[in-house]
C-alpha cells in the first residue's frame, strides 16, 4: 500500500479493481470496494453490509461489494478526494465534506429546516437529491444512495432551554460552522469540540452544554454530565454513498440498476434503524434523570424566526442553488 500526499492509495490494486470485468451472462462480473469510516457495530455500517448483500443478491452473484469499516481505507477528511481520483470505487461520504467545493451541500446543517426523521427523504425526493447529484457529478462523483443519520438536539447543565433567550450566556459545544452559526444566532457562545473530547469538556465545565444526536449522547454517556435536553430536532447530519464517476460510467446499465436498487433498499433499512436507535436513546436519557423539553409548534416558531439570519446568509453565499434548496426544504415541511 502506498501513501500519497496524506491519502492512502492502493496503487495497482485500485487500477485493477476498476477493470475486473469478465464476459458472460447478463452482467460483466465485477468486484469493488466500499470505504466506510464508522466501526462495524454502528447501524450505518450494518446498513452498508445490507447494501453489499443486496448487490450480490440482485446481480445473482455477478457483483460483489467489499465493505471496509473503521476508516481502513480512508478517513472522512480524505474520502472526497479518494472518490474523485478513483482511489476507491465507492465510499460513504459526509455531505458536509463537500462544502468547500459545493457550498450548498451545507443545506442539511441549516437550523430548523427539517422537523422530523422523515424530512430529509421528503426533501431529497422533492428534487433536492437530483440537484445535488448534478453538482457532485461535475466534481467526479455519482450518488448511489443517501444515508440519513438522525436529528440533532441541545444538551446543557444549567437550565431548561425553551425560548431563544434561554441560550444567552451559555457556552455550547458545536461540531461545524452551521451549528456554530445557529448557537450564535440564539445568543449562545459556540465552542467547536470534537466528539471524542465532548464528555471531558462537559464534565469539567469547559462548556455548559453540547449539540449532538441522542444516540451519540448515549454512546458518549453525555447524559451523565448534563441535566437538561431540549428535543429541538434543529438540524441533521447527512451522508451519501458515492461512486467514482469514471468507474460508474464504465458499468453497464444493468449493473448501475443493481446498485441503485440495492441502495434504495439499504437507505430504507438504515432509516428504520435510525428510528429504533433514536427511541432507545431517548428512553436511556430519560431513565437517567435528564429533564427533557419538547417544543410546542409555537415555541419552535420562535426558534425558526431567531435563526432566520443563518438561513439567509447561507442563501446569499450559495447563490441560486442554495436558495432553491432552502425553499424546497421549507416547502416539504
Q: What's the rounded Cα separation, in Å, for the pair 317 and 61?
A: 47
Q: What's the rounded Cα separation, in Å, for the pair 230 and 221?
A: 17
Segment among 17-31, 66-80, 95-109, 191-205 with least mean pLDDT? 17-31
What topology is assigned to 2-101+116-148+238-279 in CATH? D-Maltodextrin-Binding Protein; domain 2 (3.40.190)
Q: What's the rounded Cα separation, in Å, for the pair 292 and 286?
A: 7
pLDDT surpassing 60 at residue 78 = yes
Burial class (CB in 10 A: 0-12, 13-18, 19+), 3: exposed
pLDDT surpassing 70 at residue 215 = yes
Query: Among 2, 3, 71, 64, which residue's Cα sits nearest to residue 28?
Result: 64
pLDDT surpassing 70 at residue 15 = no
Phi, psi of 32 (to 5 degrees): -140, 165
pLDDT average, residue stretch 265-278: 95
**Class of 153-235+288-332 in CATH:** alpha beta
Query: Among 248, 244, 250, 318, which residue's Cα sits nearest to residue 81?
Result: 244
pLDDT in tens, 164-206: 999 999 999 998 888 999 999 999 999 998 878 999 999 999 9
Distances (CA, A) of 12 to 19, 88, 89: 11, 12, 13
Burial class (CB in 10 A: 0-12, 13-18, 19+), 221: middle
**pLDDT level of residue 4 (50, 70, 90 thresholds):** very low
pLDDT surpassing 60 at residue 283 = yes
pLDDT average, residue stretch 69-83: 93
Q: What is the model's pLDDT at position 42?
A: 84
- Mean of the per-residue pLDDT values for the chain? 90
Whether pTM exceeds 0.85: no
Q: What is the model's pLDDT at position 127?
A: 97
**pLDDT level of residue 59 (50, 70, 90 thresholds):** very high
Distances (CA, A) of 71 to 1, 8, 76, 128, 213: 15, 10, 8, 28, 21
Residues of the chain with CATH 3.40.190.170: 2-101+116-148+238-279, 153-235+288-332
Beta bridge partners of 153: 212
Percent of the chain predicted with pLDDT > 90: 81
CB 70 within 8 A of CB 48: no
* Degrees, nearest 5: CA angle 149-299-309: 70
pLDDT surpassing 80 at residue 25 = no
Q: What is the model's pLDDT at position 29?
A: 61
Amino acid at each position: 500500500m502506498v501513501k500519497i500526499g496524506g491519502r492512502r492509495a492502493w496503487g495497482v490494486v485500485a487500477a485493477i479493481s476498476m477493470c475486473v470485468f469478465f464476459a458472460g451472462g447478463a452482467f460483466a462480473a465485477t468486484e469493488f470496494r466500499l470505504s466506510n469510516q464508522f466501526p462495524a457495530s454502528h447501524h450505518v455500517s450494518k446498513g452498508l453490509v445490507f447494501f453489499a448483500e443486496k448487490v450480490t443478491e440482485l446481480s445473482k452473484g455477478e457483483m460483489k461489494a467489499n465493505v471496509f469499516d473503521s476508516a481502513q481505507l480512508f478517513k472522512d477528511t480524505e474520502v472526497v478526494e479518494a472518490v474523485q481520483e478513483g482511489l476507491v470505487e465507492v465510499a460513504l461520504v459526509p455531505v458536509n465534506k463537500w462544502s468547500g467545493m459545493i457550498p450548498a451541500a451545507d443545506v442539511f446543517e441549516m437550523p430548523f429546516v427539517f422537523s422530523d426523521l422523515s424530512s430529509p427523504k421528503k426533501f431529497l425526493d422533492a428534487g433536492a437529491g437530483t440537484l445535488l447529484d448534478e453538482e457532485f457529478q461535475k466534481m467526479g462523483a455519482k450518488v448511489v444512495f443517501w444515508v440519513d443519520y438522525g436529528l440533532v438536539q441541545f444538551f446543557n447543565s444549567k437550565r431548561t432551554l425553551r425560548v431563544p433567550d434561554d441560550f444567552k450566556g451559555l457556552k455550547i459545544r458545536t461540531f461545524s460552522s452551521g451549528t456554530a452559526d445557529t448557537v450564535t444566532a440564539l445568543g449562545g457562545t459556540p465552542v467547536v469540540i470534537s466528539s471524542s473530547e465532548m464528555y471531558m469538556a462537559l464534565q469539567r465545565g469547559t462548556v455548559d452544554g453540547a449539540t449532538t444526536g441522542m444516540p451519540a449522547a448515549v454512546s458518549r454517556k453525555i447524559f451523565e454530565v448534563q441535566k437538561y435536553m431540549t428535543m429541538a430536532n434543529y438540524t441533521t447530519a447527512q451522508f451519501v454513498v458515492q461512486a467514482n464517476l469514471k468507474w460508474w460510467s464504465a458499468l453497464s446499465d444493468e449493473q448501475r440498476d443493481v446498485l441503485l436498487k440495492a441502495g434504495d433498499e439499504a437507505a430504507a433499512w438504515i432509516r428504520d434503524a435510525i428510528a429504533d436507535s433514536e427511541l432507545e436513546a431517548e428512553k436511556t436519557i430519560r431513565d437517567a434523570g435528564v429533564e427533557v423539553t419538547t417544543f410546542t409548534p409555537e415555541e419552535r416558531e420562535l426558534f425558526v424566526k431567531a435563526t432566520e439570519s443563518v438561513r439567509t446568509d447561507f442563501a446569499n453565499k450559495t447563490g441560486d442553488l442554495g436558495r432553491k434548496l432552502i425553499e424546497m426544504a421549507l416547502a416539504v415541511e
